[in-house]
A and B are shown apart, each in its own frame.
Chain A
Amino acid sequence: MRQCLPSEFERNGLWDNGAPERHEVDLGPLDFIPPGEGRAYRVAGRTIAVFRQRDGCLFATDNCCPHRGGPLADGIVGGGVVICPLHAWKFDLHTGRCIGEDVALRTYPVRLVNGCIVVEL
């Protein structure tokens, strides 16, 4: 089940049903994200969070926490998990599943191309 509550500071475009075909977007250099942290990107009407784990793994998810709309890019990341900064809901970054609650985040394939982050929307 995917759900995302509208929050006061963003709506991340989950209700946009347009553009069903997948396309890749270059988000710029990896160095923008310090090791172990996440940053948010507004792209194609939605806000996604990209996480750069210290072991080099990259993850991309929707930025909006399905609980109360917390900005996940500001969360603590480690061991394939992100913790929302508002109420500490935890999400598995591989699957998007919330740990302990029956909700999930949308995840996006992401890879590194010539030092740049490329996400598939």
Chain B
Amino acid sequence: MSPRQRERLVVIGNGMAGARLVEEVLQRDAHRFAITMFGAEPYGNYNRILLSHVLNGSHRREEIFLNPLPWYAAHGITLHVGVKALYIDRARRVVVGKPLHRSAVPYALDGCDHAAAPIEAPYDRVVIATGSRPFVPPMDGMGKPGTFLFRTLDDCEHIAAYAKHCRKATVIGGGLLGLEAARGLLALGVEVTVLEALPQLMAAQLDAEAAAMLKATIERLGIRVLLQAVTTRILGEERVTGVQLQDGMILETDMLVVSAGIRPIVEIARDSGLAVERGIVCDDQMRTSDPDIFAVGECAQHRGVVYGLVDPIWDQVKTVADVLTGVKPDAVYRGSKLATTLKVLGVELVSLGTTTPVQAGDEVVVYREPSRGVYKKMLVRDNKLVGAILLGETETAGVLTQMFMLETPVPARRADLLFGTASGAPVLSVFDLPEHAQICNCNGVPKGRIKEAIQVGKCRSVAQVGAHTKAGTGCGSCKSLIAQLLEVYAGEVTEDPSEHYYVPGVPLTKPQLIAAIKEKKLKSVSAVFRELAGGKEDADSKAGLASLLKSIWPQEYEDERDARFINDRVHANIQRDGTFSVVPRIYGGVTSPAELRRIADVAEKYQVRMVKITGGQRIDLLGVKKEDLPAIWRDLGMPSGHAYTKAFRTCKSCVGTDFCRYGLGDSIALAQKIERRFQGIEAPHKLKLATAGCPRNCSEAYVKDLGAVAIEGGQWEIYLGGAAGSTVRKGDLLCTVKTHEEVLTYMGRFIQYYRENAKYMERSYSFVARLGIERLRAVLVEDREGICARLDAEIEAAVAAYRDPWATEAAHPISASQFAGPVQIDSTRAEEGM
């Protein structure tokens, strides 16, 4: 068919619904329609669900694009970006739009450049997918600098930019979106307060009890939550300085993010004479009151319901695509059962259907464990699951969701649904599910597609099924069902072995690799590639292998510098502009006037751009050129602080018994002994330590990889696996000892055990959490495995092998060009050629 003969489909809205509709249509019939799209935002299509990840910096904006602009061109779609469709001229059968002002907010009521020529798109069929806009509760002062809505990628970037200069942020709205926004802001390092008008958080998904538990969990993370807090006024002259609540209370804040729910965008339907109530009124085929015009997504109202979640949208879009392409002209959408699976601020949460009993005879099954923040609740009606909440622990979510969606009878022992059966047998046999039953709710993958991937596509592991169908790659709660399907249809589940390799380029687990390295006496990274990887060098594996080899062969390791990260090649930390930072070792954080003078002289002589006190009680010289490193080290005359490598970094201390009136133990002397002993010892990841002279913990020893805390009675407590970075964890108490020497022994023993058993790049906090403190105590204190003497000897050997790299390599560089910057090649020679 030539383009002229093709039917013309105009899609209004380029959000998740609009773009998915076009994908579904193309999938069914790639040639039937000439497609035109209107998108008010100046981008391709992106995953709005991940906006909070962009806000907190865990995703780059590029990473959340679903369909970048070239995709539209590649599929022959005419996309009017930055153009808002204004009305549908149903008499002339054209959609009319105008470009938005560059600075206009895409979801604003107006914002079009009225002087611009209208853009018209003639149609045979139209799909409206305009989505929704943020709801702003009535209050004075919205719109002044520092007030934000949270809906689009641009909103997100404006918020992140503004937050850089803020100390306190307030979020209005304690629903899903509001909490996501709060999470993003928290990650940006501002103090966050959430204001919710209702008496509980997440009223749409939780009952009061679960909400209270969630509130407690969130507050532990450092977010302040105020309930029944109605904002009436935004304070501040030039920009936001605070908000005033209905009860008169005034809250100081530097910025305000409103995320209090959404409202459908329906103006275009109303202005085109279509039936509109809360949303655009649609029938069971998602047709509006004009049979050639459809609506999908958050702007549409179906059987009185306007959905604000993504799953119902996928269902609607499939129905419309079936109808439009004629693949199933009588396809029908009957409404969606609501299932929400999400992580709120790191808390797992699943919410299905109704969360509070509505009819007499509704059976409620509840399990609560407040100390761990676990809450599980089911609502059973006529022996079928009509609603559920799982908070904090969601292993059985996959089965529950299936039972809920398919309305299969629940087992007589209800507890099996919340905890799994005692025998481990599946509660629900996937074998009995119909082919169309949706297994992966995140990506909408039915059982039939997974079965096909196993039988035809020969997938044999959950990961392979995921790569093939996307199933299990969202929240992951359906992985157990996928594994069951593999057992049913392939008779086996193969774990993807590469998940367990120590490095990707050598097909061995860590214990296998260590055994092979020892057996073949491999002392260098290139030898490992030669002997264990078929001679194939792999860039991703080099640094991990170098770290492992150095811990296996402390003395004999053959240091091939190309296998190491740049920091370890030049013993300094690379900065964003390609310069380096220099941190000399300052044992226990105790320095002297003479040392400080030398540091000052060096900073001036080499025009160091910044001199900064670090969190580890040392001094950082920033902005140093690679070429200057050896000379700076010589002039400093201090050893390397190893602030650049996966190794023992530093041991902080408080002033302890020498000066502090509370001090119970000599924390400074201990910190210095620790630092002198373990300096530069390499490990799977960095190790930051501290000693505290009393439990007041001024040096933060409880939240270090290893910490020693003095307690009354001349004793020291030793803590393992603490963290106060992106993860915050109080260390676990290993044991209590009497002397400094004992502290050194146990710390050394743990460091060696960690070096041998942790995965590469696994911080001590996940290592300790993974093994459990009881097991570590059994091995390291009670010596149940009989390895303590060996561990002590190995760490002693590593300590003995330590050489200060600065002193060594300032005098004897590894190669002539070890510290070379870019080499200037004579440009006249370049121009003349050879």
Contacts and interface: CB of A to CB of B under 8 A. Distances in A.
Does A pair with B?
yes
Contacts of B539: 76-79, 81-83, 90
B501 interface: no
A31 B68 CA distance: 45
A96 B560 CA distance: 26
Contact of B830 (A43, A75, A90): A43
B526 interface: yes
A68 B543 CA distance: 22
Given A25-B833, A86-B576, A101-B62, A55 B537 contact: yes
Contacts of B823: 27-28, 32, 39-42
A121 B824 CA distance: 15
A16 interface: no
B782 to A, nearest CB: 41
B830 A53 contact: no
A4 to B, nearest CB: 14
Given A9-B577, A40-B823, A78-B539, A26 B562 contact: no
Interface in B799-828: 814-818, 820-825, 827
A31 B540 CA distance: 25
A45 B833 contact: no
Interface string A59-102: 00001000011110111111101110110001000000000011
Contacts of B540: 81, 83, 90
A39 B566 CA distance: 12
A79 B538 contact: yes
A102 B824 CA distance: 31
Contact of B825 (A27, A35, A81): A27
Interface string A2-40: 000001111000000001000111111001111111011
A76 B565 contact: yes
A41 B825 contact: yes
Contacts of B574: 74, 85-86
A22 B833 CA distance: 9
A37 B561 contact: yes
B382 interface: no
Contact of A78 (B537, B818, B820): B537
A22 to B, nearest CB: 9
B817 A33 contact: yes
Interface residues of A, number: 51
Contacts of A107: none
Interface in B579-615: 579
B821 A54 contact: no
B829 interface: yes
Contacts of A71: 578
B249 interface: no
B829 A26 contact: yes
Nearest to B68: A102
A44 interface: yes
B834 interface: yes
A42 B562 contact: no
Given A39-B823, A76-B562, A85-B566, A24 B834 contact: yes
A34 B577 contact: no
Contacts of B68: 102
A7 B674 CA distance: 41
A23 B577 contact: no
B237 interface: no
A118 interface: yes
Interface in B557-580: 560-566, 569, 574, 576-579
A77 B566 CA distance: 11
Given A42-B823, A79-B539, A90-B539, A23 B830 contact: yes
Interface of A: 7-10, 19, 23-28, 31-37, 39-45, 47, 53-55, 63, 68-71, 73-79, 81-83, 85-86, 90, 101-102, 118, 121
Given A37-B562, A40-B823, 5 more contacts: A10-B578, A25-B830, A36-B560, A54-B562, A78-B542
14 contacts: A9-B578, A9-B579, A23-B833, A28-B825, A36-B561, A39-B823, A41-B822, A43-B825, A63-B822, A68-B576, A78-B541, A81-B539, A81-B540, A85-B565
Top 3 A-B pairs ranked by shortest CB distance? A36-B562, A78-B539, A40-B822
